[in-house]
């Protein structure tokens, strides 16, 4: 599955995995170049300097290196792929409820500025994740989200609000917008109810899909 917004950026290759294609076809032959990383629902982000780098425990990857693929693995959590508009830097973030609540997006935007980048030069895509149709949480957790985020950012106004349901893609969308990223796409595909993705909530324990991005090697 692809994003129209990312497709517009030259020299960037990306794909969001699905149940039928969990390691996207266009990244299979590049798999030996993937960094090694372990997601722990943290807000830790690392710079990938070379293919196959050992990154330890991180939930965000960033690179300016060509032919150095990045990926995030999910099964209901939100995969976020980002690139700058000239296509010479990319990033991938993992935002489940923990990462969202501890503001991995805010942390990433701070990190971008430390790299000398401007958020308005970047675009972001929120990939397939559990939607507000299916993502019911406990009253306590819902209340915590209400305390942490603006009330009107908990569910997209375009979608139906249900009691104690959260819209993780939209919460992260609002964080990205607020942080200065203007062009953002939400791929609205609920992993739980569309049947096209692995979903932890649906019972696909241990089965997940990869969302991948890479700056392509260009001809000299």
Give least dist CB 191 to Zn ion, A.
Answer: 8
Q: What track of x and - describes contact with Zn ion for positions 58 through 77 (by CB under 5 A)?
A: --------------------
Q: CA angle, 100 as apex, 99 and 101 as ends, to 5°?
A: 95
Q: Is 159 in the site for Zn ion (CB under 5 A)?
A: no
- Closer to Zn ion by CB, 38 or 162: give it: 162
The span from the CA of 198 to the CA of 17, in Å, is 10
Q: Tell me how far, at minimum, the Cβ of 193 lies from Zn ion, in Å.
A: 3
Would you give the end-to-end CA distance of the chain in angstroms? Answer: 30
CB of 105 vs Zn ion, minimal distance in Å = 22
Residues whose CB is less than 8 angstroms from the CB of residue 210 and which lie 6 or more positions away in sequence, other chains included = 17, 22, 23, 24, 27, 71, 72, 73
Stretch of residues binding Zn ion (CB under 5 A), selected from 66-74, 101-109, 125-133, 203-211: 125-133
Half-sphere exposure of 19 (CA within 13 A, CB side): 17
- Shortest approach of Zn ion to residue 131 CB, angstroms? 4
Contact between 193 and Zn ion by CB under 5 A: the answer reads yes
Query: Quick one: which segment of 25-33, 59-67, 112-120, 130-138 binds Zn ion (CB under 5 A)?
Result: 130-138
Using the contact rule CB under 5 A, the part of the chain among 16-24, 137-145, 168-176, 193-201 near Zn ion is 193-201
Binds Zn ion by CB under 5 A, chosen from 14, 94, 165, 192: 192
Q: What is the DSSP letter of 120?
A: G
**Residue 131 sits in the site that holds Zn ion (CB under 5 A):** yes
Interface with Zn ion in residues 133-152 (CB under 5 A): 133-134
CB 31 within 8 A of CB 16: no
Q: 110 near 119, Cβ under 8 Å?
A: no
HSE toward the beta carbon, residue 82, CA cutoff 13 A: 32
Binding site for Zn ion (CB under 5 A): 131, 133-134, 190, 192-193
């Amino acid at each position: 599955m692809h994003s129209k917004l990312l497709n517009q950026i030259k020299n960037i290759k990306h794909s969001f995995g699905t149940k039928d294609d969990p390691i996207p076809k266009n990244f299979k032959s590049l798999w030996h170049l993937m960094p090694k990383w372990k997601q722990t629902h943290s807000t830790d982000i690392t710079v990938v300097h070379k293919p196959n780098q050992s990154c330890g425990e991180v939930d965000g990857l960033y690179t300016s290196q060509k032919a150095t693929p990045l990926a995030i693995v999910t099964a209901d959590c939100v995969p976020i792929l980002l690139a700058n508009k000239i296509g010479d830097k990319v990033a991938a973030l993992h935002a489940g409820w923990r990462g969202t609540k501890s503001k991995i997006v805010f942390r990433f935007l701070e990190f971008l500025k430390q790299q000398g980048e401007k958020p308005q030069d970047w675009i972001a895509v929120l990939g397939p994740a559990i939607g507000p149709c299916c993502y019911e949480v406990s009253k306590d957790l819902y209340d915590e989200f209400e305390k942490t985020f603006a009330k009107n950012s908990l569910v997209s106004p375009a979608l139906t609000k249900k009691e104690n349901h959260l819209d993780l893609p939209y919460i992260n969308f609002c964080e990205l917008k607020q942080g200065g990223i203007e062009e953002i796409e939400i791929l609205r595909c609920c992993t739980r109810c569309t049947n096209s993705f692995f979903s932890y909530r649906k019972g696909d324990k241990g089965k997940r899909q990869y969302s991948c991005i890479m700056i392509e090697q260009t001809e000299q």
